[in-house]
């Protein structure tokens, strides 16, 4: 669908393209140059805009999302608090409520806004209004300009190696234990010390330069979920993928990926 919207944006020289899924709880965004923007980067852009109005705001983001929620200089200057939490509609919605966060963002395109922006649930049309409000508050900049202002990162798509439902959670727990042990023992990953290990939903392991990798069990398919990102380079992103995959391959139950980088 977004491919068709991108073509229409280019044909009509539109300022932005907005697309919604069948039940209207997700929103996809295409900039004025016809480029699709990943939902987690839209989240960072909205957090930048909203935190100017609400400095010190808390934003909940799922563990698959970009590390920019923690490292972006604008969000740091606006004293934003980022809470990485479990992927999934009910998890993010509940966490936004419990923390009284201003908003919650999922890489899947589900955005949850609390008052005064929304009513706490994911609504694609409220998201679209927030995007349009952001553009209105930045009249001298296009959607593409706002996107280009973000620090560049190199991220993978969501990759899913096969793993049977009966064992996927056990395998994920083994991977969590492996990375926690590496950190405790002072071992390196991709040649760097492990800076942080987040285990709220599988394991998200980050090294000194901010490059990170995620492994978690899929909630609805017989597979695992793997995502990697680097703020440094595509080469560092690929190094992290190979390191994470190496740990996964210690488990014979892990099969082929649906896609890789």
| Pair (64, 104) in one structural domain | yes
> pLDDT at position 145, please?
98
| Pair (79, 198) in one structural domain | no
| Pair (203, 134) in one structural domain | no
Query: Would you state the structure tokens that stand for residue 46, as one six-digit string?
Result: 């909205």
* Domain's final residue, options 148, 172, 198: 148
* Residue 117: domain span: 2-148
| Pair (140, 230) in one structural domain | no
ω into 92 cis (within 30 of 0): no
Which residues are CB-neighbours of 162 under 8 A, at least 6 positions away?
222, 223, 254, 255, 256, 257
Q: Which of 136, 143, 180, 135 has its CA nearest to residue 9?
A: 143
| Pair (15, 110) in one structural domain | yes
> pLDDT at position 24, please?
82
Query: Would you state the structure tokens that stand for residue 178, as one six-digit string?
Result: 């492996």
> pLDDT at position 120, please?
87
71 falls within a domain: yes
Give the pairing type, strands 188-189 and 192-198. Answer: antiparallel
Q: Which of 107, 109, 85 has its CA nearest to residue 97?
A: 85
171 falls within a domain: yes
Instruction: Decide if 254 contacts 224 (C-beta within 8 A).
Output: yes
| Pair (136, 37) in one structural domain | yes
> pLDDT at position 213, please?
98
**How distant is the alpha carbon of residue 73 from its chain centre?**
17
261 falls within a domain: no
Cα separation, 179 vs 19, whole angstroms? 38
* Residues facing 188 on adjacent strands: 193
| Pair (181, 239) in one structural domain | yes
Total structural domains within the chain? 2
Q: Kindly give the parts of the chain with pLDDT less than 50.
A: none
> pLDDT at position 2, please?
82
Whether the model clears a pTM of 0.85, i.e. scores above it, the answer is yes
């Amino acid at each position: 669908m977004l491919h068709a919207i991108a073509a229409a944006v280019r044909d009509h020289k539109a300022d932005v393209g907005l697309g919604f899924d069948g039940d209207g709880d997700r929103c996809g965004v295409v900039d004025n140059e016809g480029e699709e923007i990943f939902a987690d980067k839209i989240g960072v852009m909205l957090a930048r805009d909203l935190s100017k109005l609400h400095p010190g705001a808390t934003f909940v983001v799922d563990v698959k999302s970009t590390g920019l929620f923690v490292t972006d200089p604008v969000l740091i200057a606006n004293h934003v608090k980022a809470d990485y939490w479990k992927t999934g509609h009910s998890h993010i919605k509940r966490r936004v409520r419990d923390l009284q966060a201003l908003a919650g963002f999922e890489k899947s395109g589900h955005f949850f806004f609390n008052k005064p922006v929304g009513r706490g649930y994911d609504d694609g049309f409220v998201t679209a209004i927030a995007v349009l409000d952001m553009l209105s508050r930045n009249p001298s900049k296009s959607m593409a300009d706002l996107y280009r202002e973000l620090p560049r990162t190199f991220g993978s798509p969501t990759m899913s190696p096969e793993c049977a439902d009966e064992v996927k959670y056990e395998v994920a727990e083994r991977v969590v234990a492996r990375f926690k042990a590496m950190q405790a023992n002072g071992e390196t990953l991709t040649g760097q010390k492990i800076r942080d290990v987040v285990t709220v939903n599988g394991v998200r392991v980050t090294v000194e330069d901010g490059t990170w990798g995620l492994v978690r069990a899929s909630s609805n398919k017989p597979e695992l979920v793997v995502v990697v990102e680097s703020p440094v380079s595509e080469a560092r992103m690929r190094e992290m993928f190979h390191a994470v995959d190496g740990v996964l391959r210690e488990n014979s139950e892990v099969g082929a990926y649906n896609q890789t980088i």
